[in-house]
Structure 1
């Protein structure tokens, strides 16, 4: 599953849960699925951050390992 697909599914789950119309048993299942998707997205973001850190160059063109700061 791609990051984008996981994020779309997670957003749909959040929308369902926020509606307040989901029966409790289904809400619990959705929460568990959402938590798994959140963890997957976090792993993908961490991996992307590591790749960005690995390719950053300093002013002289040397690779640095300065942590990435998304702001």
Structure 2
């Protein structure tokens, strides 16, 4: 796995969701540890925010592509996926 420090901000968009999520978890672990200097903590926080936005965007995009097969009146029908409690 690539280290978060080896990837430039412009390259984040090309990260697979799983890699971005792993890197976000690493950033959170480092920040929760509390043993990083202030400047490093700010850099990690900024990177974590970019990764969180990226993961959110990728999830929204994937949600829009997912379809469900539901049975209506004895027939199977494709419908767009809508998470429960989404309000849509």
Where structure 1 has 5 or more consecutive residues not aligned to the other structure, the ranges are: none
Cα distance change, pair 58–12 in 1 and its aligned pair in 2 (3 A): same
Where structure 2 has 5 or more consecutive residues not aligned to the other structure, the ranges are: 1-14
Larger RCO of the pair (alpha carbons < 8 Å, separation 6+) = 1
1:23 Cα deviation after fit: 0.5
- Length-normalised TM-score, structure 2: 0.68
Secondary structure at the aligned position of 2:69 is classed as coil
1:26 Cα deviation after fit: 0.6
Q: Does 1:63 align with 2:75?
A: no
Distance in 2 (CA, whole Å) between partners of 1:17 and 1:28 is 9
Q: Which has the higher helix share?
A: 1
Secondary structure at the aligned position of 1:67 is classed as coil
- Length-normalised TM-score, structure 1: 0.83
CA-atom RMSD in angstroms:
1.7
Distance in 2 (CA, whole Å) between partners of 1:66 and 1:45 is 12
